[in-house]
Chain A
């Protein structure tokens, strides 16, 4: 059989269901990645709009553009949206889903239908959360929703119920996604891809996913307690009946701190993908970097109370958490220097993706330095809950998580679409975004030190804050312009970009060995990996070609991909992947409807829809891939 015939056979086997129905029932990791991408972009736009509205209100002292109630909802939803509906699903759901199987040489994720479920649950949770705006009762107690303010006594509407139920719902979607990524990375790596040959991007996603698994339960428990107290009169957080308001904070931050590493680790992964490609050499101190990524996630579980330094906890507690918070800096500095050394040792080509990484390094260092200041307890106690901390986390979240994302969008755009973006426009978009980010967030350091507290819908004139706020607002619009320019570049290039070919940047990882865009089955022959930069390993790729000609490791007996051992990636069995399935979207629909009934206290009906959801699992598992 000639190579051409083998490929035709694979194409037939992996033919996708056409049209909208195909997208609704897809289990293909690339399609799911694209679904995640566009959905999270919509939420990014929503969160950005919320921010611009807030900044418009804050541009001047004592302004009355927005009422305090509207502002509080926008402020809360901005945080909730950006964290739970934009950055996490974008990095893990869009980038993770699309790229991990390609980078590890697999044909799909370990559990394709579960993958679809994680997307549809995520979409359902987003619809649920945003429907709160339709009745003007969006969550309004801040993204960390402290009690007692979040209790029924002080917040009688549905706002907090949307928040708690929405996050439980969203958390389930994220947990499922994380589980899938972990098992995929453990079990589906191509033959020969031992741990030391796995791309750093995958290490980053593994660290982020493991963190999600161990961090989300704390948030879920917290939200369950909150709803039980609000809806059924249980007592967890009120002192009068033996509860404690700080319980909410401990559980929240037990989740909340690992969460910020979950946010930033995939961004590190993107940076460590772009740098070797554009520096045209392998990453310096690769094993140190891989270990640092895992270490950040691990140590990140031990620092949570540094968000509570002003609550009156004991000095011993303060000192312990300050120490742990200082420790977590070191794995980050290792990575920063490894990146910089790689750039210096290489011959960097400063095209748009690398420019965004340059911006990322600058912003990450600024955010990291202000972060270190928070580990000095007395300074934390002065600057927490002020605009100084708002500056810190925006430099980290926007500068260190979003910038690599933007670079990554340009970097992988050719792979996903088969076309090149416009380089000149991309560079302009970098500068505009860089200047906008700096203008928006840098003055916040100053105004925070001048005494401006956070979460204020307005401020008094005469305190010296007016000019900075105006600059920040202008910066926000400049930033928005930069982002719109990126969007324009992407949309225009989708149609008019020149054809990219398989490997426009000569990247080192496996996704660059397949056509752009990749065929449904990803790899015509399952690659055999002998190095950490397989696309630079010409001998191994030629050996793959020989195998393709011989029909070895083509795995065209069905929808097949190999499962391998966890450490050395030796083949253990051939897995059969399921075809499209309606069950994930049906299940997600049942859960979404159930959430609305829980919200409105129709418990029996909610239970009914949840039962329906459980029943769809029967249909799901009755269809066994690989069995006659």
Chain B
């Protein structure tokens, strides 16, 4: 009744802005973690320290590539939801979720092994490396939980609340993917 006369314009919803600010703070956190890695690197003649094997190249690169690709279905899901196309949105979200889940499980399995091999209790290098990786995996875990939530919620119907939630989640995922790429670059830099 009262809203009919309002001139309404398209704009990013508040939920999206919330995701942006949240990403800003998490990105800053990763900035400090990477910054710490670089800072300590310049305080050490050998980095990683002698005797520590360098982190693997192939598996992390392939896994990260797979994760980065999930930005595409997340983008599709986001657009579809905004246009009211529930089925497309759901399929895209589910596809992304499947790959994200596989990524996460595989990485967590490798992570346990990583901690064993590099042993943060032995060096600052291993300490910051393990922490950086762990922080990334934690953020991926949060993303996986969010994806799972929307796989469930969007299976039944779309509401404004769920659309904004999905779009915010997609934004979060794009950010996590970028951060994961940065972490991969740090990992690969040990081979330089």
Contacts and interface: CB of A to CB of B under 8 A. Distances in A.
Interface of A: 110-111, 114, 175, 178-179, 182-183, 186-188, 213-214, 216-218, 220-221, 224-225, 228-229, 232-236, 241-244, 247, 250-251, 254, 551-557, 562-563, 565-566, 570-575, 614, 618, 621, 624-627
Interface stretch (B63-71, B157-165, B170-178): B157-165
B131 interface: yes
A178 B32 CA distance: 19
A574 B3 contact: yes
B18 interface: yes
B18 A232 contact: no
B160 A627 contact: yes
B190 to A, nearest CB: 14
Given A234-B121, A235-B127, A563-B13, A213 B25 contact: yes
B1 interface: yes
Contact of B121 (A179, A218, A233): A233
Nearest to A562: B6
A572 B9 contact: yes
A242 B43 contact: yes
A188 B17 CA distance: 12
A574 B6 contact: yes
Closest 5 CB pairs of A and B: A242-B124, A217-B29, A234-B127, A624-B161, A217-B28
B16 to A, nearest CB: 9
Given A213-B24, A625-B161, A573 B2 contact: no
B128 interface: yes
A228 B121 CA distance: 10
B6 A110 contact: no
B120 to A, nearest CB: 5
B3 A555 contact: yes
A188 B14 contact: yes
B149 A618 contact: yes
B8 A571 contact: yes
Interface stretch (B33-41, B76-84, B88-96, B101-109): B33-41
A571 B39 contact: no
Contact of A241 (B7, B33, B124): B124
A557 B3 contact: yes
Given A235-B124, A554-B2, A556-B2, A565 B36 contact: no
A193 to B, nearest CB: 15
Interface string B114-148: 00000011111111101100000000000001000
A566 B14 CA distance: 10
Contacts of B121: 232-235
A236 B131 CA distance: 11
Interface of B is mostly: helix
Contacts of B36: 221, 225, 236, 247, 251
A551 B161 CA distance: 27
A220 B8 CA distance: 41
Contacts of B122: 235, 241
A242 B40 contact: yes
A565 B9 contact: yes
A396 to B, nearest CB: 25
Interface in B1-58: 1-3, 5-11, 13-14, 17-18, 21-22, 24-26, 28-29, 31-33, 36, 39-40, 43-44, 47, 49
Contact of A621 (B10, B28, B124, B165): B165
Contacts of A229: 127
A235 B17 contact: no
28 contacts: A111-B14, A111-B18, A114-B18, A188-B14, A213-B28, A214-B25, A217-B25, A218-B28, A218-B32, A225-B131, A234-B121, A235-B120, A236-B40, A236-B127, A236-B128, A241-B124, A242-B44, A242-B49, A242-B123, A242-B125, A244-B124, A247-B40, A551-B2, A552-B2, A563-B13, A563-B14, A571-B6, A572-B8
Contacts of B9: 565, 570-572
Contacts of A557: 1-3
Given A179-B18, A235-B120, A551-B2, 18 more contacts: A179-B22, A179-B25, A182-B17, A217-B25, A217-B28, A217-B31, A228-B127, A228-B131, A235-B121, A235-B122, A236-B40, A242-B47, A243-B40, A243-B43, A247-B36, A571-B8, A574-B3, A624-B161
Contacts of A573: 8, 11, 13
B192 to A, nearest CB: 18
A183 B160 contact: no
A183 B145 contact: no
B137 to A, nearest CB: 15
Given A179-B25, A214-B24, A241-B124, A187 B14 contact: yes
Contact of B7 (A244, A247, A571): A571
Contacts of B5: 552
A209 B25 CA distance: 11
B175 to A, nearest CB: 14
A242 B47 CA distance: 9
A221 B29 contact: yes
A165 B33 CA distance: 18
A327 to B, nearest CB: 22
B160 A626 contact: yes
A572 B10 contact: yes
A242 B49 CA distance: 8
B7 A232 contact: no
Nearest to A179: B21
Nearest to A209: B21
Nearest to B21: A179
A557 B161 CA distance: 17
Contacts of A571: 6-9
Contacts of B14: 110-111, 183, 186-188, 563, 575
Which one of B14, B24, B162 has the highest number of Cβ atoms from chain A below 10 Å of its Cβ? Answer: B14
A241 B123 contact: yes
Contacts of B159: 624, 627
Which one of B2, B44, B125 has the highest number of Cβ atoms from chain A below 10 Å of its Cβ? Answer: B2
Nearest to A215: B28
A224 B134 CA distance: 12
